Amino acid sequence: MQDDRNGCAGEEGWPDGGGIDFMSVWILRFAAALYLAAAAAYVFYFARPRHTRAASAGYTLVGAGFLVHAISIGFACSEFRGAEFFTLRGGLVMIAWLAAGGFLLLIRAYRLPAIGAFITPLLLMALVPGLFAQPGQSHGIVPEVVRLPVLKLHVIAATGAVGLFAIAFGVALMYLLQERELKGKRFGALFSRLPSLTALDRLNQRMVRSGFVIYTIALVSGTLTAKTAWGRFFGWDLQQVISLGIWLLFALMVQLRHSGIHGRKYAVLTVVGFVLVMGTMVGLRQAPGLTRHEGSYAADRGSSS
């Protein structure tokens, strides 16, 4: 992701031309258009389940979007020299990309195209800041001191885990809707189009479990990075505290599964977990100074040595 760091390490930031001029943003917009078309196809399929071709079209479009998205990320790496992924915008772009990849694998493995109507709009929503916000304001180049291999792992694992939680969130919503139909004895359009409770529950559980494993990797690699950047493994930074809380919540969910907790409670926990993840991701970046994780490495560079 940060292949070009050597050549540009000395520069401060990038030209203030605005996001519009960046090649990566244009390519990202193209990818978003593909995702939009995919979402339309999947929603159409959801409304008219007879048209299975719409679902296959959606799948192909997500695949194409995923590739274009990858190209955009490649361009972004060279344009922003890696700093991209330390902003909310870049993080969301990365999460959407990994979630799209996860979604493609999921559809191949489970053949439940109905979930496309719930996941693809989420992908699009994650991309919106990437399309219109100015890429990577303020923080400047990632300082040499945190440019560790483990940081790359941290970024990929963290975004990947959030991507999986996002998919689990969509699936959990579907579960709650279907459960409401079944319990309320309303057997309408939703009832016939949503997959069965068991299928959704199983899928949700697998997403949460694999998301938890990857989140653990993100947490460990993040802690290692903190040691280098901030001088301590755990410094009661708000981001660290909340991340640990989220990790505990998901660990609890994985554990509860073994004691028979499933279905509605599990779906509600998944939704809560994802809302917490997104809440911290967005919220902690709104107020500067709440956490050093938000990108102010320079301030701590001294303490790291």
Partner 1 sequence: MNDVSMVGLSHKSAPIGVRERVALCGDALRDALTALRARPDVDEAMVISTCNRVEVYVAGPVSAARSFFVDRCAESVDHLYVRESREAVRHLFRVAASLDSMVLGEQQILGQVKEAYGVASASGAAGAFVSRLCNRAFATAKRVRNETQIGCGASSMSQVAVELVEKIFSDLKGREIVLVGAGKMGALSAKALASLGADRILVTNRSPERARALAEQVGGFSRDWAELDALLVAADVAIVSTGAPNYVITAEMVQRLMKARRHRSMCFIDLSVPRNVDPKCADLPDVYAYDVDDLEKVVQTTKEARAGEAIRAEAIVEAEVMAFVAERDQRAALPVLAGLRRKAEQIARTEAERTLAQIGASLDDKQRKSVEAMARAIVNKLLHVPTARLKEAAASGDTALPGAAAELFDVDNNDQHSQRPAADSGHSAQVLSMSEKR
Smallest separation (angstroms) from partner 1 to the CB of 196? 4
- How many residues bind partner 1 (CB under 8 A)? The answer is 21
Closer to partner 1 by CB, 108 or 258: give it.
258
AA letter at 250: F
CA angle 122, 125, 127 (to 5 degrees): 115
Encoded tokens for 247: 């990790």
Closer to partner 1 by CB, 182 or 241: give it.
182
Q: In Å, what is the CA distance from 126 to each residue of 66, 90, 131, 211, 277?
A: 14, 10, 10, 18, 13
3-state secondary structure of 178: helix
Question: Which residue stretch of 150-158, 231-239, 256-264, 288-296 sits at the interface with partner 1 (rule: CB under 8 A)?
Answer: 256-264
Compute the distance between CA of residue 138 and CA of residue 250 in angstroms, rounded to an integer.
33
Smallest separation (angstroms) from partner 1 to the CB of 260? 4
Q: Is 263 in the site for partner 1 (CB under 8 A)?
A: yes
Smallest separation (angstroms) from partner 1 to the CB of 191? 7
Q: Is 198 in the site for partner 1 (CB under 8 A)?
A: yes
Q: Is 183 in the site for partner 1 (CB under 8 A)?
A: yes
Task: Determine contact, residues 31/65, Cβ cutoff 8 Å.
Answer: yes
Task: Determine contact, residues 114/195, Cβ cutoff 8 Å.
Answer: yes
The site map against partner 1 for 43-82 (x = CB under 8 A) is -------x--------------------------------
Q: Is 237 left (phi over 0), alpha (psi -120 to 50) or beta?
A: beta
Compute the distance between CA of residue 41 and CA of residue 53 in angstroms, rounded to an integer.
9
Question: Which residue stretch of 130-138, 149-157, 188-196, 211-219 sits at the interface with partner 1 (rule: CB under 8 A)?
Answer: 188-196
Closer to partner 1 by CB, 178 or 239: give it.
178
Question: Which residue stretch of 23-31, 81-89, 187-195, 241-249 sits at the interface with partner 1 (rule: CB under 8 A)?
Answer: 187-195
Q: Is 178 in the site for partner 1 (CB under 8 A)?
A: yes
Q: Is 191 in the site for partner 1 (CB under 8 A)?
A: yes
Task: Determine contact, residues 229/299, Cβ cutoff 8 Å.
Answer: no
Compute the distance between CA of residue 277 and CA of residue 299 in angstroms, rounded to an integer.
26
Q: Is 206 in the site for partner 1 (CB under 8 A)?
A: no
The site map against partner 1 for 213-252 (x = CB under 8 A) is ----------------------------------------
Q: Is 262 in the site for partner 1 (CB under 8 A)?
A: yes
Question: Which residue stretch of 154-162, 168-176, 247-255, 262-270 sits at the interface with partner 1 (rule: CB under 8 A)?
Answer: 262-270
Q: Which of 28, 199, 207, 229 is close enough to bind partner 1 by CB under 8 A?
A: 199
Half-sphere exposure in the Cβ direction for 223 (13 Å, CA): 11
Closest CA to 62 of 44, 85, 35: 35
